[in-house]
């Protein structure tokens, strides 16, 4: 398992995640470089599931985290040129988790804000549901430019304890 990361500096992008009001004192984070191939998708899913299972803080829903991570990684593989690795960052937070996928293309990933047509996607379209899923299932999402390209992220809240 990759080594935990130190905390990141604050972001200054137009689609920043919300301020964290409940940070975990020793927040756990994982970062791994993935191949720029379809093989990156199952690797990313496995890392997210392992990270959520290992965390001491209340974790987010692993199935949803895996699904949304797979969408982001698949988008990075499909829509960015070159063979540079894709980087996956998973952070466990007091209120859930945040997942980021970094790639070498600085262009925005598409519209990560809710749209009126989200409830009625084109049933004949074979692609284009990944960002819709991210918008619908995450508690927050966005993107930011990085020195190497961009990072696209989503957050999920911690699972509620069963009563």
Residue 57 within any structural domain of the chain: yes
Distance from C-alpha of 38 to C-alpha of 63, rounded to nearest angstrom: 19
Coil, helix or strand for 83? coil
Give the pLDDT confidence score for residue 118 in this predicted structure.
54
Domain count along the chain = 1
The length of the chain in residues reads: 163
Residue 24 within any structural domain of the chain: no
Residue 1 within any structural domain of the chain: no
Tens digits of residue pLDDT in 17-40: 444 444 444 458 899 999 999 999
Residue 116 within any structural domain of the chain: yes
Tens digits of residue pLDDT in 114-132: 555 555 556 556 666 788 8
Rounded mean pLDDT of 35-49?
Answer: 96
Residue 97 within any structural domain of the chain: yes
Tens digits of residue pLDDT in 83-109: 899 999 999 988 899 999 999 999 988
Is residue 142 predicted with pLDDT exceeding 70? yes
| Of 150, 7, 4, residue with least CA distance to 87 | 150
Contacts 24+ apart (CB under 8 A), 82-88: 82/36, 83/36, 84/36, 84/148, 85/33, 85/34, 85/35, 85/36, 86/33, 86/34, 86/35, 86/36, 86/40, 87/31, 87/32, 87/33, 87/34, 88/30, 88/31, 88/32, 88/34, 88/44, 88/47, 88/48
Mean per-residue pLDDT of the chain? 79
**75 band by pLDDT with thresholds 50, 70 and 90:** very high
Q: Which CATH number covers residue 67?
A: 3.30.565.10
Give the pLDDT confidence score for residue 131 in this predicted structure.
83
Is residue 138 predicted with pLDDT exceeding 80? yes
The pTM for the full model equals 0.76
Residue 22 β-bridge partners: none
Give the pLDDT confidence score for residue 14 in this predicted structure.
36
Work out the percent of the chain whose per-residue pLDDT is above 70.
67
């Amino acid at each position: 398992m990759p080594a935990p990361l130190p905390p990141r500096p604050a972001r200054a992008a137009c689609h920043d995640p919300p301020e964290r009001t409940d940070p975990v004192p020793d927040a756990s984070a994982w970062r791994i470089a993935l191949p720029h191939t379809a093989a990156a998708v199952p690797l990313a899913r496995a890392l997210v599931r392992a990270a959520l299972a290992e965390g001491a803080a209340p974790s987010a829903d692993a199935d949803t985290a895996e699904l949304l991570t797979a969408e982001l990684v698949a988008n990075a593989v499909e829509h960015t040129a070159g063979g540079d690795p894709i980087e996956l960052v998973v952070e466990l937070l007091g209120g859930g988790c945040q997942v980021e996928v970094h790639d070498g293309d600085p262009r925005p990933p598409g519209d990560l804000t809710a749209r009126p047509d989200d409830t009625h996607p084109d049933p004949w379209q074979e692609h284009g549901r990944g960002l819709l899923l991210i918008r619908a299932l995450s508690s927050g999402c966005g993107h930011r430019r990085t020195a190497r390209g961009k990072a696209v992220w989503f957050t999920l809240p911690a699972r509620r304890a069963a009563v």
